[in-house]
Amino acid sequence: MMYAWEQNKETVVTWLTDRNFGAIRAWLQEQNAVDIAALIEELPEVHHTAVYRLLPKTIAAEAFAYMESDTQERLIRAFTDRELAAVLDELYLDDVADLLEEMPANVVKRLLRVTSPEDRRTLNQLLRYPENSAGSVLTTEFVDLKADMTVAAALRYIRTYGPDKETIYTCYVTDSNRHLQGVITARELLLAHETDRIGDRMQTNTVSVVTTEDQETVAGLFARYDLIALPVVDSENRLVGIITVDDVVDIIQQETTEDIEKMAAIIPSDKPYLRTSVWELFRSRIPWLLLLMVSATFTGMIITAFESALAASVALTAFIPMLMGTGGNSGSQSSVTVIRSLALDDIRFGDLFRVLWKECRVALLCGAALAVATFVKILAVDRWLLGTAVTLPEAAVVCVALFITVLIAKLVGCSLPMFAKRVGFDPAVMASPFITTIVDAISLLVYFGVASHILSA
């Protein structure tokens, strides 16, 4: 789909070359901060600062937060100290922390110089949380109320301090030591009597996480409980911040992209494709290719070891790709299903035997169907249509080996990711390519084993 601003990009460029700044300013006033950020990034770099300075104050900082870090850096270098201070003042502190992480040292220095000592302390703390933890995605700008406030007082408090808060829809009730006591939504406040006490209306069975919790768990909680915001506490249950649902949508997309990349034997990166350099793409892809290539040589060694058997029955060689391919596909169907179910918390390690039993029955059905199909195909196509010299015992070897391979592939495919998760490895890394290599080797061993049994009999 095409966004509105994309249709107007040409017009804006014309206005810029005509120096018709009034028209641009009027047009910008109607636009969304996200679209303005996208527009500025699409314009030639010489225009970035000029367009940014035409933005209404209220929207400038928001648009800034949505830009890519190279655009942000270019703007910061063009800003006066006063402009920079104005932007930082409007930004939420978690966005400033993200900015500090991305910028080179000299820009960071300048950013910190124009920040207030109090904000610097908070920033320092935000930057100390480990990557991908709940702490690293929280925001400290939330509404905190006290249990003995009345609803009217709480609404007055929100009206005064709300404009600087990331959300006012979920308010947090803390005691004098900042311990989280409960939660009350703006909806409950609006529907309650003005004289009600907050302590009597708040919900106390609050879902919360500690700062060190993995962001994937955080995303799971939002999905499970349909949350709009989630409080984050430190090890002593003191409220340090909240995570809002708009950030969680981004976390879910990012975590899933990582899982998909791992399943495809790619080392994950968090950059969009077109912004990733050729060299970075190369480095994220070559390690697994090399490793899988080395492990694939084992299958080569197996073939070499059975060279004489293959020479005795040339027809058998032709079925190797089909056998290995079907085994690999069967295995990755199971592994991918299990990996995704683990990620969504649909299954856990305790379900191992239920999963094995289910996959076993599915494998028997799939294996039987594939073996029968192959047998019919060998008779009808290979022998009758193409006149290939496949003997009936050879056809039997292929079908029996196929059946056993599918069974083993599915059992390996479903159990390996579960064991990986159990011992603290990433299940997604266990997926398709890795399992395919194991299954390739097993399928060849099965094939030659069955061949020597049936053909020598």
**Please, which of residues 408-437 interact with a copy of itself by CB under 8 A?**
432-433, 436-437
* Secondary-structure percent of the chain, ordered helix, strand, coil, rounded to 5: 70, 5, 20
Q: Give min distance, CB of 159 to a copy of itself, in A.
A: 6
Quick check: 312 binds a copy of itself (CB under 8 A)?
no
Q: Give min distance, CB of 104 to a copy of itself, in A.
A: 25
Quick check: 353 binds a copy of itself (CB under 8 A)?
no
Quick check: 56 binds a copy of itself (CB under 8 A)?
no
Q: Between residues 127 and 210, which has the closer beta carbon with respect to a copy of itself?
A: 210
Quick check: 349 binds a copy of itself (CB under 8 A)?
no
For β-strands 170-174 and 239-244, DSSP reports them as: unpaired
Cα–Cα distance, 112 to 108 (Å, whole number): 6
- Residue 19: which region, alpha, beta or left (left: phi > 0; alpha: psi -120 to 50)? left
Site for a copy of itself in 231-270 (CB under 8 A): 245-246, 248-250, 252-253, 256-257, 259-261, 263-266
Quick check: 313 binds a copy of itself (CB under 8 A)?
no
Query: Residue 214, SS3?
Result: strand
- Total H helices, total E strands in the chain: 23, 6
Q: Give min distance, CB of 113 to a copy of itself, in A.
A: 30
b/e 411-440 (16+ beta carbons within 10 angstroms → b): bbbbbbbbebbeeeeebbbbbbbbbbbbbb
Angle (nearest 5°) at CA 220 between 261 and 428: 25
Beta pairing partners, 124: none
Q: Is 86 exposed, middle or buried (CB count within 10 Å of its CB: 0-12, 13-18, 19+)? A: middle
Site for a copy of itself in 356-385 (CB under 8 A): 358, 361-362, 365-366, 369-370, 373-374, 377, 381
Residues that contact a copy of itself, how many (by CB under 8 A): 113
Cα–Cα distance, 179 to 181 (Å, whole number): 6
Q: Give min distance, CB of 110 to a copy of itself, in A.
A: 28
Q: Between residues 12 and 444, which has the closer beta carbon with respect to a copy of itself?
A: 444
Pick the piece of the chain touching a copy of itself (CB under 8 A) from 13-21, 333-341, 417-425, 449-457. Answer: 333-341
Query: Residue 38, SS3?
Result: helix
Q: Give min distance, CB of 118 to a copy of itself, in A.
A: 24
Site for a copy of itself in 11-40 (CB under 8 A): 30-32, 34
Task: Find the binder of a copy of itself among 303, 309, 356, 379 (CB under 8 A).
Answer: 303
Task: Find the binder of a copy of itself among 54, 91, 127, 228 (CB under 8 A).
Answer: 228
Residue with tokens 């703390």: 125
Site for a copy of itself in 160-189 (CB under 8 A): 162-163, 168-169, 186-187
Q: Give min distance, CB of 364 to a copy of itself, in A.
A: 9
Contact, 316 vs 307, CB < 8 A?
Answer: no
Q: Give min distance, CB of 231 to a copy of itself, in A.
A: 14
